[in-house]
Amino acid sequence: MKKLKIAVQKSGRLHDDSMAILKEVGISIDNGKEQLKAAAKNFPLEIFYLRNGDIPQYLKDGVVDVAIIGENVLIEKGEDIAIVEKLGFSSCKVSVAIPKSAKYNSAKDLEGKRIATSYPNTVNTFLAKNNIKAHLHIINGSVEIAPNIGLADAIVDIVSSGSTLFKNGLKEAEVILKSEAVLAVSPMISAEAKSILDKLHFRLKSVLRGRQSKYVLLNAPNNKIETIVSILPGMNSPTILPLAREGWSSLHSVINKNDFWEVIDELKQNGAEGILVCPIENMVL
């Protein structure tokens, strides 16, 4: 039976988040600690554990069909590879960082400077866009040490919390791009593998919708229902059920978690009571 071959990062935060979402979509993986390849027990899927920087080439060559990978890595090494879905985790930035004592007003301050980076293509695109000429030092790993040893005036690297920059006497000067984990597909994927990918993608979208939503149940007087319905449109419209208490109804709906507190405040102001909010595991449309 044909299996969909998917690459994930061998170790690190992206690995952990990738395995977590595969578990959420109901895929059980028999995985030994030192294995470089593992098969799912209940879905036609085979996982390859690879170095993050190598994954774009595996996609281009068709060695794997799809991958969960950082968008920043695709921009650097595989800009021609299609993204099927943005996954909303493992967020980071690719940023310019300079010594804390240095001044930075705009990208023009990089003119003629030495920049250390592991992302030469990304940096060159940024420099060309801003019509800047600078000297690149390509370093794999520990980029943040370059200004301290006199190798560079600035660096361009991944920034998550900023703690590594702080420890090395650097500060973030400008964000070049923002990145998150994405599901990327090989240009050489077969029709059979694409059919399996469609099933996986359907499950992923259901989980992602659930993560972005909250299920809300509330009680409201009937004369306030029209106003509350305008606040809670839900997917199509809220569910409205009569209560044993005369003149009152129960409303059920879904809200975006990013709008959660604003919506709750507005509901209370318009007569809603007994508001119950529940997480959503999956939301299938």
According to the model, what pLDDT value does residue 185 have? 97
Asked whether the beta carbons of 197 and 82 are under 8 A apart, the reply is: no
According to the model, what pLDDT value does residue 236 have? 67
Please list the ranges in the chain whose pLDDT falls under 50: none
Asked whether the beta carbons of 44 and 199 are under 8 A apart, the reply is: no
Backbone φ and ψ of 70, nearest 5°: -70, 135
According to the model, what pLDDT value does residue 184 have? 97
Sign, CA torsion 180/183/186/187: negative
According to the model, what pLDDT value does residue 162 have? 77
How far apart are the two ends of the chain, measured CA to CA in Å? 29
According to the model, what pLDDT value does residue 30 have? 75
According to the model, what pLDDT value does residue 72 have? 93
Convert the pLDDT of each residue in 183-205 to its tens digit. Answer: 999 999 999 999 999 999 999 99
**Can you tell me the distance from the alpha carbon of 135 to that of 156, in angstroms, rounded to the nearest whole number?**
12
- 115: helix, coil or strand? strand
| Helix (H) or strand (E) run with residue 201 in it | helix 191-211
According to the model, what pLDDT value does residue 106 have? 92
Backbone φ and ψ of 8, nearest 5°: -135, 160
| Domains, the chain | 4-88+181-210 (3.40.190.10), 92-179 (3.40.190.10), 213-279 (3.30.70.120)
Tell me which residue of 284, 81, 88 sits closest to 202, measured CA to CA. Answer: 284
Specify the amino acid at residue 148: N
According to the model, what pLDDT value does residue 153 have? 94
- 99: helix, coil or strand? strand
According to the model, what pLDDT value does residue 233 have? 64
Burial (Cβ within 10 Å: 0-12, 13-18, ≥19) of residue 59: buried
According to the model, what pLDDT value does residue 69 have? 96
Half-sphere exposure of 147 (CA within 13 A, CB side): 22
pTM: 0.84
